[in-house]
Amino acid sequence: AQSVAQPEDQVNVAEGNPLTVKCTYSVSGNPYLFWYVQYPNRGLQFLLKYITGDNLVKGSYGFEAEFNKSQTSFHLKKPSALVSDSALYFCAFPLGGATNKLIFGTGTLLAVQP
Protein backbone atom coordinates (compact mmCIF):
# COMPACT_ATOMS: atom_id res chain seq x y z
CA ALA A 1 0.00 0.00 0.00
CA GLN A 2 1.13 3.53 -0.71
CA SER A 3 2.22 5.54 2.30
CA VAL A 4 4.44 8.20 3.79
CA ALA A 5 6.49 7.63 6.91
CA GLN A 6 7.72 10.12 9.45
CA PRO A 7 10.33 8.19 11.44
CA GLU A 8 10.65 10.68 14.30
CA ASP A 9 7.81 11.32 16.73
CA GLN A 10 9.61 14.40 18.05
CA VAL A 11 12.47 16.62 16.97
CA ASN A 12 14.18 18.97 19.41
CA VAL A 13 16.27 21.87 18.20
CA ALA A 14 17.66 25.05 19.71
CA GLU A 15 16.46 28.39 18.41
CA GLY A 16 18.72 29.65 15.65
CA ASN A 17 19.91 26.19 14.65
CA PRO A 18 18.90 24.51 11.40
CA LEU A 19 16.05 22.04 11.58
CA THR A 20 15.09 18.97 9.57
CA VAL A 21 11.84 17.01 9.80
CA LYS A 22 12.05 13.75 7.91
CA CYS A 23 9.59 12.12 5.54
CA THR A 24 10.02 9.09 3.31
CA TYR A 25 7.48 7.94 0.78
CA SER A 26 6.27 4.79 -0.86
CA VAL A 27 4.12 6.18 -3.66
CA SER A 28 3.75 4.85 -7.17
CA GLY A 29 4.52 6.89 -10.25
CA ASN A 30 5.56 10.52 -9.96
CA PRO A 31 4.42 11.50 -6.49
CA TYR A 32 2.91 14.75 -5.37
CA LEU A 33 4.05 15.46 -1.81
CA PHE A 34 2.89 17.96 0.76
CA TRP A 35 3.87 19.39 4.12
CA TYR A 36 1.27 20.76 6.52
CA VAL A 37 1.76 22.30 9.97
CA GLN A 38 -0.65 22.17 12.88
CA TYR A 39 -0.33 24.63 15.74
CA PRO A 40 -2.01 23.81 19.09
CA ASN A 41 -5.80 23.88 18.86
CA ARG A 42 -5.65 24.94 15.23
CA GLY A 43 -6.39 23.28 11.92
CA LEU A 44 -3.73 22.24 9.43
CA GLN A 45 -1.98 24.95 7.46
CA PHE A 46 -0.49 24.27 4.03
CA LEU A 47 3.28 24.85 3.97
CA LEU A 48 4.48 23.65 0.59
CA LYS A 49 4.10 21.01 -2.08
CA TYR A 50 6.17 19.18 -4.67
CA ILE A 51 4.48 18.52 -7.99
CA THR A 52 7.25 18.30 -10.54
CA GLY A 53 10.33 20.19 -11.65
CA ASP A 54 12.84 21.69 -9.24
CA ASN A 55 13.63 19.27 -6.42
CA LEU A 56 13.97 22.11 -3.91
CA VAL A 57 10.59 23.55 -3.02
CA LYS A 58 10.21 26.76 -1.05
CA GLY A 59 7.19 27.38 1.11
CA SER A 60 5.69 29.55 3.80
CA TYR A 61 7.48 30.88 6.90
CA GLY A 62 10.96 30.24 5.47
CA PHE A 63 10.52 26.48 5.15
CA GLU A 64 11.76 24.45 2.22
CA ALA A 65 11.76 20.78 1.31
CA GLU A 66 13.97 18.69 -0.92
CA PHE A 67 12.53 15.93 -3.08
CA ASN A 68 15.03 13.08 -3.42
CA LYS A 69 13.87 10.34 -5.76
CA SER A 70 16.81 7.98 -5.16
CA GLN A 71 16.24 8.06 -1.40
CA THR A 72 12.43 8.36 -1.69
CA SER A 73 12.53 11.23 0.76
CA PHE A 74 10.94 14.65 1.10
CA HIS A 75 12.54 16.21 4.17
CA LEU A 76 11.37 19.56 5.50
CA LYS A 77 14.10 22.05 6.37
CA LYS A 78 14.65 25.53 7.71
CA PRO A 79 18.05 27.22 8.07
CA SER A 80 17.32 28.90 11.41
CA ALA A 81 14.58 27.66 13.77
CA LEU A 82 12.28 29.97 15.71
CA VAL A 83 10.46 29.17 18.94
CA SER A 84 7.25 29.96 17.06
CA ASP A 85 7.99 27.06 14.67
CA SER A 86 7.12 24.66 17.50
CA ALA A 87 4.18 22.66 16.18
CA LEU A 88 3.09 19.32 14.73
CA TYR A 89 4.24 18.70 11.15
CA PHE A 90 2.60 16.29 8.72
CA CYS A 91 3.85 14.91 5.46
CA ALA A 92 1.09 13.86 3.03
CA PHE A 93 0.33 12.77 -0.51
CA PRO A 94 -2.88 12.73 -2.58
CA LEU A 95 -4.14 9.24 -3.36
CA GLY A 96 -5.17 10.25 -6.86
CA GLY A 97 -7.98 8.93 -8.97
CA ALA A 98 -11.48 10.20 -8.42
CA THR A 99 -10.96 11.07 -4.78
CA ASN A 100 -7.51 12.71 -4.49
CA LYS A 101 -7.85 12.50 -0.73
CA LEU A 102 -4.72 13.25 1.27
CA ILE A 103 -2.96 10.39 3.03
CA PHE A 104 -1.05 11.71 6.03
CA GLY A 105 1.94 10.50 7.95
CA THR A 106 1.76 10.11 11.70
CA GLY A 107 3.19 13.54 12.37
CA THR A 108 6.37 14.88 13.96
CA LEU A 109 6.29 17.22 16.91
CA LEU A 110 8.90 19.95 16.53
CA ALA A 111 10.04 21.56 19.77
CA VAL A 112 12.29 24.61 19.46
CA GLN A 113 13.99 25.60 22.69
CA PRO A 114 14.86 29.25 23.35
70 binds other proteins (CB under 8 A): no
46 binds other proteins (CB under 8 A): yes
Binding string, 71-110, against other proteins, x = CB under 8 A?
A: -------------------x-x-x---xxxxx-xxxx---
36 binds other proteins (CB under 8 A): yes
Q: DSSP E strands: which ranges in the chain?
A: 3-5, 10-14, 19-21, 24-26, 33-38, 44-50, 56-58, 64-68, 73-78, 87-94, 102-104, 108-113
Binding piece for other proteins, criterion CB under 8 A, among 18-26, 30-38, 52-60, 78-86: 30-38
Q: Give the total residue count for the chain.
A: 114
If the CB atoms of residues 45 and 71 are measured against other proteins, the closer one turns out to be 45
Which residues on neighbouring strands pair with residue 33, listed in sequence order?
Answer: 50
Residues 6+ apart with CB under 8 A from 52: 30
Site of interaction with other proteins (CB under 8 A):
32, 34, 36, 41-46, 49, 90, 92, 94, 98-102, 104-107
